[in-house]
């Protein structure tokens, strides 16, 4: 055999798996047809989050007068798209080079080209046949291509958006997931007339209803229309008809629900019917025990950190650590303003299990650090089962919720209780103190409420 392991795709699932494989002594190659880091690093997670942070800085400057900073003329404030994109590109380039360095450092061979799975133990790339003991498919997913009758050039993908010379003034964002919500929020923060188009009536599947309601209220407050629709078509250039209503639109940005990207293969895999994800067992194995599918391509969780965790898990299984993967403690983040995060079970999931539970909350408006920062919108919400007080779900709305959720994930991973949370000493003043307060609130003894 040429290799112990060949990995197809170099996104967060693929490159993390490759680094770990190199660390444990597996002779490994990673095949990438485009750019190291995949969709997440080059066109998705990183560049979009950089742009969101740029937009948040604009909002902060607009509110600077409340902090005693005079001399800012809000009428002269503008969002410089080219500068923002240049900053994003610099960060992406730095991270991409870092990933490439780590792959080489750990002895991983990088092969450029499109891979084809020839057999259970062989992969072809650029007319080169490679033999391997194991294969990991980590080719990710992409937004589903919309099939609407609209003028040519109206619908653009996220990578096309990042390449625009100037931003549209009246963008429409198409989708029902976190990425669509983030993009809509970004456009609003930089003063664009944006609307979110949601096909059907499914909105943010997997998110706790409490957070869904919060987002709808937040969008209403920010004057971002959420339009649930069944029919969309073009009328003339710049005008779309949504369920019979004419709407002005410079661009329709595709942030639709994602479909698996499956590499060419001469062997067949069992696929999930609706979106074509590769079906895997709890060891992330496909129909073939030596071929694994990790990350977005298996449809279990379309999250970069979930993909990385699966990549690590697959390498562990290959290395002889035969344990089933548990996806219950995977945080879900939304980089809006303020941010939103959740981990563990949602309230409907807990109800479906018949658990007797309690919800305890604590608002940021009663937290000293949040008041000092002027970021008092939000709360922490802990769901615990009543018998032992075990924490089974947490939701956070806060400026840095996506960082704060890590503490909640640790508690759930360790099967911690609200008593553990309450008795964990948090530094003062910090926003993280709201965890302690919500812990005490679970047995009706909050300190500052």
179 is catalytic: no
- CA torsion 223→224→230→235, rounded to 10°? 90
pLDDT per residue as tens digits for the range 92-108: 999 999 999 999 999 99
pLDDT per residue as tens digits for the range 299-341: 998 899 999 999 999 999 999 998 988 888 899 999 999 999 9
pLDDT per residue as tens digits for the range 410-422: 999 999 999 999 9
- Res 274: pLDDT: 75
Cβ neighbors of 163 (< 8 A, separation 6 or more) are: none
Backbone angles phi, psi at 383, to 5 degrees: -105, 120
Q: Is 273 a residue whose pLDDT tops 80?
A: no
3-state secondary structure of 154: coil
Residue tagged active-site, from 121, 305, 423, 428:
428
DSSP states of 35-71 = -TTHHHHHTSHHHHHHHHHHHHHHHHHHTGGGGT---
In the DSSP assignment, the letter for residue 375 is -
pLDDT per residue as tens digits for the range 195-231: 999 999 999 999 999 999 999 999 999 999 999 999 9
Nearest to 333 by CA among 411, 390, 406: 406
Q: Is 77 a residue whose pLDDT tops 90?
A: yes
* Distance in angstroms (rounded) separating the CA atoms of residues 395 and 381: 5
Q: Which domains does the chain have, with CATH numbers?
A: 3-143+259-318 (3.50.50.60), 155-256 (3.50.50.60), 338-441 (3.30.390.30)
- Residue 16 exposed, middle or buried by CB count within 10 Å (0-12, 13-18, 19+): buried
Q: Is 269 a residue whose pLDDT tops 80?
A: yes
- Res 235: pLDDT: 78
- Residue 23 exposed, middle or buried by CB count within 10 Å (0-12, 13-18, 19+): middle
DSSP states of 237-290 = TTEEEETTEEEE-SEEEE-PPEEE----BSS---B-TTT-PBP--TT-B-SSTT
Q: Is 254 a residue whose pLDDT tops 90?
A: yes
The pLDDT of 22-30, averaged and rounded, is 98
Band (445; pLDDT cuts 50, 70, 90)? confident
- The most distant pair of C-alpha atoms in the chain lies apart, rounded to whole Å, by 69
Nearest to 419 by CA among 448, 380, 445, 449: 445
């Amino acid at each position: 055999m040429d290799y112990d392991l060949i990995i197809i795709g170099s996104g967060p699932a693929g490159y993390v798996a490759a680094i770990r494989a190199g660390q444990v002594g597996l002779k490994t190659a990673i095949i990438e047809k485009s750019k190291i880091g995949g969709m997440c690093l080059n066109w998705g997670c990183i560049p979009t989050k950089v742009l969101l942070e740029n937009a948040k800085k604009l909002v902060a400057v607009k509110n600077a007068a409340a902090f005693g900073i005079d001399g800012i003329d809000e009428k002269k404030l503008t969002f410089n798209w080219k500068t923002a994109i240049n900053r994003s590109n610099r960060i992406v380039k730095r991270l991409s080079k870092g990933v490439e360095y780590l792959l080489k450092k750990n002895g991983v061979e990088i092969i450029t080209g499109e891979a084809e799975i020839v057999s259970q133990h062989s992969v072809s790339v650029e007319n080169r046949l490679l033999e391997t003991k194991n294969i990991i498919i980590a080719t990710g997913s992409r937004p589903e291509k919309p099939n609407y009758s609209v003028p040519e050039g109206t619908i653009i993908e996220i990578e096309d958006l990042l390449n625009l010379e100037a931003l549209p003034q009246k963008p429409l964002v198409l989708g029902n997931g976190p990425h669509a919500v983030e993009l809509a929020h970004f456009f609003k923060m930089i003063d664009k007339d944006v609307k979110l188009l949601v096909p059907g009536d499914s909105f943010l599947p997997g998110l706790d209803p409490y957070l869904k309601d919060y987002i709808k209220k937040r969008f209403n407050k920010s004057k971002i229309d959420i339009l649930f629709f069944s029919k969309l078509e073009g009328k003339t250039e710049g005008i779309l008809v949504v369920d019979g209503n004419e709407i002005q639109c410079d661009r329709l940005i595709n942030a639709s629900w994602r479909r698996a990207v499956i590499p060419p293969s001469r062997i067949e895999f069992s696929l999930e019917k609706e979106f074509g994800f590769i079906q895997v067992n709890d060891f992330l194995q496909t129909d073939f025990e030596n071929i694994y599918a990790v990350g977005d391509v298996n449809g279990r969780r379309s999250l970069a950190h979930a993909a990385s965790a699966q990549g690590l898990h697959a390498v562990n299984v290959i290395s002889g650590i035969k344990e089933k993967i548990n996806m219950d403690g995977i945080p879900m983040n939304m980089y809006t303003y303020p941010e939103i995060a959740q981990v563990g079970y949602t309230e409907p999931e807990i109800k479906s299990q018949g658990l007797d539970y309690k919800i305890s909350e604590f608002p940021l408006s009663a937290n000293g650090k949040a008041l000092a920062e002027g970021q008092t919108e939000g709360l922490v919400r802990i769901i615990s089962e009543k018998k032992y007080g075990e924490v089974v779900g947490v939701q956070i709305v806060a400026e840095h919720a996506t960082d704060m959720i890590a503490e909640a994930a640790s508690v759930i991973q360790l099967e911690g209780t609200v008593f553990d949370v309450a008795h964990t000493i948090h530094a003062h003043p910090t926003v993280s103190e709201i965890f302690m307060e919500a812990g005490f609130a679970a047995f009706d003894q909050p300190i500052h409420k």
